[in-house]
Structure 1
Amino acid sequence: MWSIQNLLFIFCISLRCLTSAVGMIHVTGYVGREVNVSCSYEQSYVSHEKYLCKNDCGNSDVLITTSQASKTKYSIYDDTSARIFTTTIFDLQYTDAGKYWCGVTKTGTDIYTEVKLKLVQDRCCDTVTKVQSYEGHSESVSCRYESQYQNSLKYICRGNRPSTCLQQALITSDTKQNARFRLDDDKVLGTFTVTISNLTRNDSGSYLCGVHRNSELDVFSAVELKIEEWCCVKSTKINGTAGHPLTLQCPYPPQHWDNRKFLCKGDHRNNCSDMVTSRSRFTLQDDAASSSFTVRITELEAADGGTYWCGSDSQWRVGNYTKIELSVFLQHTRKIPDAALYVLYTVPPVLLLMCLLVTVYKNRSSRVNEADDTMSRNTPKEKNIEEVMGAAESGIYKNQEVVMTYVQQKVCKDGGGDEGVYEIMTAVATEDIYCNENFHKANRR
């Protein structure tokens, strides 16, 4: 028969097991980060002190209590409404891994809940899915998950640090759409897909697909996205003349013989306008035998200059289009030489001035002749006058020849200048006028 002492021993052992190991809590944390250890308790212990301890949970093993609030490495918070107290351990190191106890102080033996803490590196993952795309394109990233996580929160973030991924998520299954990012969850296939539109080179890098789990670390899969420059299989520069026709040549892959061919204009293919359907001056002719098509512009206009894209793939995949830089010039006009301009603009005034001098001289000569007839001067004097007048007229014509010769030399030699020509003409004209005036004054005496 069992003695009373044996029965009491068994009873005490059973009671300790019930009070000290209500349940095992498994917690996993990332090295260098923090982790939360949450433990629940009954309503009757709301006002009791709670604490976290390690190893055998002796007095020296107590790490923090609710009466201490916080320490450098630990903090504790008691949510009495939810009857859960949570201890946070900061700056985790591998030495922090091991067994802990959540304790509730009471009369007699305290209530304990065992906690198992496991630490892992804050990185992911051993397997990486690589995705390549191009600038301006849209790309979809598919992330698989297990069937038990159908209703769990899904998300994606940049980088490879699982500890901060959810806080820095670009989009989650709750929001579904966020700017350039869209998330679609196919629960039947167990796959959620994130689509990124209008890609740029800055979108290149590491991404993590995450599935949230309440009691354990989230599940992740890694993706490496590489965005390459959207560039041409062929790029060419063409010159044309306004008012003349021009033909553009566009090759395409042989397998696209049945695709719709197009030519559009714009600085980038995302904002280019179809020219063949909207412009009657543009006509397209396909030659499947040579795997190319031509676009003829019947009469170029100055506004036709710019960047064109021709291809046979509406999806704008690399290698299926041609970039054309078209420059349009106006028709060539002959430029008048500078020397000719000087002759054109300076000679007529010179001729006009010479005509004016000759007219003044003839008028004055007529008056002198009339005066001589009425006064009946002697013949020698008249002869002298005629000689003087002949000499004057000869001088004027000689001056005219000198002026014209100077102008021609000035123009032919160095282009001359308007100021130089006018200075010479003014000097000559003034001298001739003064000479004529002196001549007439002498005859009046």
Structure 2
Amino acid sequence: MWSFQNLLLTICVALRCVISAVGMIHVTGYVGRDANVSCSYDQNYVSHEKYLCKNDCGNSDVLITTSQASKTKYSIYDDTSARIFTTSIFDLQYTDAGKYWCGVMRTGKDIYTEVKLKSVQDSCCDTVTKVQSYEGHSESVSCWYESQYQNSLKYICRGNQPSTCLQQALITSDTKQNARFRLDDDKVLGTFTVNISSLTRNDSGSYLCGVHRSSELDVFSAVELEVEEWCCVKSTKINGTAGHPLTLQCPYPPQHLDNRKFLCKGDHRNNCTDILRSRSRFTLQDDAASSSFTVRVTELEAADAGTYWCGSDSQWRVGNYTKIQLSVDAGHYVGYTVPPLLLLLMCVFAVLVYKCKHQKAKDNETVMNINAQNEDALEEVMRVAENHIYESQEVVIYSNKETAELQNAGNDYEDLGEDEPDLNVTTEEIFCNGNFHIAN
């Protein structure tokens, strides 16, 4: 009897008879990567030998057992405390896909669990979401997931290889904040969002949004991020005059109709000051029909000159704002400047008159009349000088004529029956005598 039972056991072990299938285990692995097949067993079989076999589990179908050392293609580990043994299949290929069995050896017939192994390409995905941004900006990447994964681990990584994504994750829902990356999970909407700040050109490339699943491959969605150089901003130059009003024109995209419009001043957009909030001389009026707004300055000041930025996009995307270079001219006072020639003549005349008035007065009435008439002549010339402020050319001609007459005044002494004047007479004396004859 004992020999017969042993014979049956030997035959059954040799054939690896499959007598039960406790459920089915589905395993999917990436081509070129490792695939792990984990199988649980009952407490009564902790010390029993375990193995992985393929097809019908014939003697040649046994791939590895817990009593064997690891092989080139396979390895096996039995966690007796968890009562799970795991077989790793290295460098998975498409040809490795198929039916496998987790076996637990025992007296009589072994216990088997069916495994369905699938090989897939280590890449993702059929659909890619494209996101465009610019250097220095912040950008958010939104990743959708199904409701059953509300409490699952979420993460994002660079590249498009799902097999290594979790190990190379830039941030996960457990950490939430990591340097320039922040992850927010909205479980109600079924979306987690990753925000990347201070973008550079090096941030361009492929990203994977991942949702971790313990018994199956993680779920992924692909994103392609393109970070462009911050350049080619529309720029205009405007010139104004101090003390005068000025209007600035700022276009914006039609889709920004309800956005807050702004005008700020500063050499760089990152540190400019909002003018509309700090200066009452600046007022904004939106014109939805023309997709633009105007900023009116009631009275320009010299300090208003500088660089301005107007727009409707807080993210500063190119095309959504305008750079304005404003220069302010000082106001010009319209007045009159006395020509140098007239000014010189007036000064010389004033000095000569002053000296003439203080000459020693002659004892006859004729000399006194001459002095009186000199004063009248002074008033006449001063009147002419005042008129010259408005009629400069006529005054200059008149002044030249008067000067010629004054210089020839000495010749009139002959008409008065006086002696011929000394040829060495001074200009001062000629001027005074000239006034006398003009008066006569």
Partner of 2:301: 298
Matches within 5 A, 1:343-354: none
- Conserved? CA contact 1:21–1:112, under 8 Å: yes
Q: Structure 2 matches for 1:95-244, cutoff 5 A?
A: 95-236=95-236
SS at match of 1:95: helix
Alpha-carbon distance between aligned partners in 2 of 1:234 and 1:182, rounded to the nearest angstrom: 32
| Contact 1:157 1:208 (C-alpha < 8 Å) held by counterparts | yes
Aligned to 1:48: 48
Q: Secondary structure at the match of 1:113?
A: strand
Distance 1:208 1:102, change over 3 A: same
- Could you give the per-residue CA deviations for residues 7-54 of structure 1, whole angstroms, max 9, x where no partner exists? xxxxx9xxx998442232111111111110001112222222222122
Cα distance in 1 between the residues matched to 2:38 and 2:97: 16
In structure 2, what is the Cα distance between the partners aligned to 1:277 and 1:23? Answer: 70
Judge which range, 71-80 or 48-57, deviates more: 48-57
Q: Deviations over 1:410-442 (max 9, x none)?
A: xxxxxxxxxxxxxxxxxxxxxxxxxxxxxxxxx
Q: CA RMSD in A?
A: 3.8
Distance across 2 between alignment mates of 1:260 and 1:64: 70
Matched, 1:270 2:273: no
Structure 2 distance, partners of 1:133, 1:188, is 28
Instruction: Give the secondary structure class of the aligned counterpart of 1:148.
Output: helix
The answer on whether the counterparts of 1:99 and 1:116 sit within 8 Å (CA) in structure 2 is yes
1:221 aligned counterpart, secondary structure: strand
Note the C-alpha offset of 1:312.
4.9
- Between the aligned partners of 2:258 and 2:144, the Cα distance in structure 1 is 38
Counterparts of residues 401-412 of structure 1 (less than 5 Å): none
- Tell me, in whole angstroms, the C-alpha distance in 2 between the residues paired with 1:23 and 1:287: 71
Q: Give the C-alpha shift of residue 217 in structure 1.
A: 1.3
Correspondence 1:284 to 2:282 = yes
Q: Which has the higher helix share?
A: 1
Structure 1 contact 154–212 (Cα < 8 Å) conserved: yes
Cα distance in structure 2, aligned partners of 1:81 and 1:146: 34
Query: Which residue in the other structure is 2:82 paired with?
Result: 82
Maintained 8 Å contact 1:73/1:89: yes
Is the contact made by 2:134 and 2:229 (CA closer than 8 Å) also made in structure 1? Answer: yes
Aligned to 1:344: none
Q: Partner letter of residue 157 of structure 2?
A: C
| TM-aligned CA deviation for residue 297 of structure 1 | 6.2
Preserved contact between residue 101 and residue 114 of structure 1 (Cα < 8 Å): yes
1:182, 1:161 → 2: CA distance? Answer: 22
Offset, 1:85: 0.7
Q: What SS does structure 1 have at the residue aligned with 2:209? A: strand
Change (3 A) 1:179 1:60: same
Offset, 1:135: 3.0
For the residue of structure 2 that corresponds to 1:195, the secondary structure is strand
Can you give the 5+ residue segments of structure 2 that lack an aligned partner in the other structure?
A: 1-11, 329-440
Supply the distance in 1 between the matched residues of 2:71 and 2:44 (Cα, whole angstroms).
27
| Cα displacement (A) at 1:200 | 2.7
> Shift of residue 92 of structure 1?
0.6
Post-superposition CA distance 1:183-221 (Å, at most 9, x none): 232333322222333333322222222222221111222
Describe how 1:416-431 pairs up with structure 2 within 5 A. none
Cα deviation, residue 227, structure 1: 2.5
Q: Which amino acid in 2 is paired with 1:176? A: K
Instruction: Decide whether aligned partners of structure 1 residues 292 and 275 sit closer, same or farther in structure 2, where only a CA change above 3 A counts.
Output: closer
Q: In structure 1, what residue type is equivalent to 2:161?
A: R
- The alignment partner of 1:319 has SS state of coil
What is the distance in 2 between the residues matched to 1:151 and 1:238?
A: 57
Change (3 A) 1:244 1:292: closer
> 2:252 maps to which residue?
253
Q: What CA distance in whole angstroms lies between the structure 1 residues aligned with 2:151 and 2:205?
A: 29
Partner of 2:37: 37
TM-score (norm 2): 0.60
Q: Aligned partners of 2:106, 2:247: CA distance in 1, in Å?
A: 91
User: Hey, what's the Cα distance between the residues in 2 that align with 1:320 and 1:230?
Assistant: 13
Report Cα offsets for 1:264-286 as digits up to 9, x if no partner: 2143x2233446766x8x95365
Aligned AA (1:202)? N
Residue 158 of structure 1: CA displacement? 1.7
Equivalents in 2 of 1:275, 1:320: separation in Å?
18
C-alpha separation in 1, matches of 2:18 and 2:89: 27
When residues 202 and 244 of structure 1 are mapped into structure 2, their CA distance, relative to the original with a 3 A threshold, is: farther
Give the paired residue count: 309
1:33 aligned counterpart, secondary structure: coil
Task: State the alpha-carbon separation in 2 of the partners of residues 211 and 157 from structure 1.
Answer: 11
Q: Describe the superposition over 1:103-151 as per-residue Cα deviations: whole angstroms up to 9, x where unpaired.
A: 2222333222221111111111112222223333333322222222222
Map of 1:432 onto structure 2: none
1:320 maps to what in 2?
320
Where 1:60 maps in the other structure, the secondary structure is helix
- Partner SS state of residue 302, structure 2: coil
State the AA in 2 paired with 1:139.
E
Q: Distance in 1 between matches of 2:276 and 2:198?
A: 26
Name the residue aligned to 1:64.
64
Separation in 1 of the partners of 2:58 and 2:259? Answer: 83
User: Which blocks of at least 5 consecutive residues in structure 1 are unaligned?
Assistant: 1-11, 329-445
Cα drift, residue 320 of structure 1:
3.3
Provide closer, same or farther for how the CA distance between residues 247 and 43 of structure 1 changes in structure 2, counting only shifts above 3 A: same
* Cα distance in 1 for residues equivalent to 2:259 and 2:53: 75
Which deviates more from structure 2 when the two are superposed, residues 116-125 or residues 145-154? 145-154
1:87 aligned counterpart, secondary structure: strand
Aligned partner of residue 166 in structure 2, secondary structure: coil
Residue type at the aligned position of 2:212: H
Q: Percent identity?
A: 78
> Does the Cα contact within 8 Å between 2:252 and 2:311 map onto a contact in 1?
no
- How many angstroms apart in 2 are the aligned matches of 1:258 and 1:112? 65
